[in-house]
Amino acid sequence: MRISVQHQTLYRYEAPPRRVMQLLRLTPREYDGQIVGSWQIDVNCDADLIRKRDAYGNITHLLTVEQPPNELLITAEGHVDTVDTSGVVTGLDEPLVPTVYRRPTHLSRVDEGIAAFAREATEAVDGALAKMHALLAALHAEIRFEPGTTDVHTTAREAWQHRAGVCQDLAHLFCGAARSLNVPARYVGGHLLRRDGQNRQPAAHAWAEAYIEDLGWTAFDPAHGISTDEHYVRVSSGLDYRTAAPIVGTRMGGGTEDLTVTAETSRKMAGRAARQSQSQSHSGSAMGQSQNQ
């Protein structure tokens, strides 16, 4: 399947900032489940854009803007050819060993109540893969998908208390619960071509991956209760949202700011899944954080 993606981040500042620096994780990597075709990052004023990799292997761009305007717009767009791998992620360059992803973080740390829930949800099945599918189903049934009840700073424990949240919260809960069962798990950010046609959203999507011995990294989307398939575009991963966020940064001056994010996917008729060289163009910047939906 060929999926077109457009992710836009617009910042409106009370006054023009003197300087903006941001780290962008907006460019997908290739693996056996996806081939990246045309892809570019555009910004709306003169800027420096330097491509690198972070510690988790994500493609990053360091964006620096001197004397930016009142409105900064970042657009990442392109298309990706995907295939259904039943959630199994192979062929991805992995800079870290799986055991790193057993480490708890502030956003994904669970308490004894969540750990007990994970044990109870998985006690009737054997094997890590079956346990992760059981955990997926249990979290999907337990946590209401309810935008507005949480924000970008909400922890897994806080979402558990509400029994509600968005995909970011469910991904944190899955990661923390899996780690409490000694299964390495990581947070994943990307895009989803939804079957219900609601493909213009106020944020990107998020899910989780668990490491299964003799199988490898396998993706689980607790917001929808399924493993990922060809409708998903994988962009970034880390221990939690903070290490996989699309945009993080800082600025000097500018007063108050207003943030608007849109993430839109659509299906294109695909010919051959041909590799095309990535193009990175720029004429500007942006900054800040938005919650994954």
CA-wise closest residue to 135 among 92, 99, 185: 185
Structure tokens at 4: 């077109």
User: Could you tell me whether strands 205-212 and 185-192 are parallel, antiparallel, or unpaired per DSSP bridges?
Assistant: antiparallel
Q: Is the pLDDT assigned to residue 97 strictly greater than 70?
A: yes
pLDDT digits (tens, 9 = 90+) for 17-32: 999 999 999 999 999 9
> How many Cα atoms are found within 13 Å in the side-chain-facing hemisphere of 116?
4
pLDDT score of 293: 61
pLDDT score of 254: 82
Q: How far apart are CA 121 and CA 135, in angstroms?
A: 6
User: Could you tell me whether strands 164-165 and 144-145 are parallel, antiparallel, or unpaired per DSSP bridges?
Assistant: parallel
Question: What are residue 74's DSSP bridge partners?
Answer: 9, 43
pLDDT digits (tens, 9 = 90+) for 200-251: 999 999 999 999 999 999 999 999 999 999 999 999 999 999 999 999 999 8
**Chain-wide mean pLDDT for the chain?**
92
Q: Is the pLDDT assigned to residue 172 strictly greater than 50?
A: yes
Q: From the CA atom positions of the chain, what is the Rg in Å? A: 19
Q: How far apart are CA 44 and CA 231, in angstroms?
A: 30
Structure tokens at 122: 């998985």
SS3 content of the chain, % helix, strand, coil (to 5): 20, 40, 40
With bands split at pLDDT 50, 70 and 90, how would you rate the model's confidence at 289?
A: low
Give the neighbor-by-neighbor strand order of the sheet with 34-43: 34-43, 71-82, 2-13, 257-268, 200-201
Give the neighbor-by-neighbor strand order of the sheet with 88-89: 88-89, 216-220, 205-212, 185-192, 232-238
Burial, 93: exposed, middle or buried (Cβ in 10 Å; 0-12, 13-18, 19+)?
A: exposed
CATH (one of 2.60.40.2250, 3.40.50.2020, 1.10.287.3240, 3.40.630.10) for 2-82+246-268: 2.60.40.2250
CA dihedral 127, 128, 133, 136 (to 10 degrees): 140
Q: How far apart are CA 141 and CA 174, in angstroms?
A: 13
Q: What is the mean pLDDT of residues 35-60?
A: 96
What residue ranges do the domains of the chain occupy?
A: 2-82+246-268, 88-243
Task: Compute how many other C-beta atoms are within 10 angstroms of the C-beta atom of residue 240.
Answer: 23
**Could you confirm whether domain 88-243 is CATH 3.10.620.30?**
yes
pLDDT score of 270: 52
Helix (DSSP H) and strand (DSSP E) numbers for the chain:
4, 16
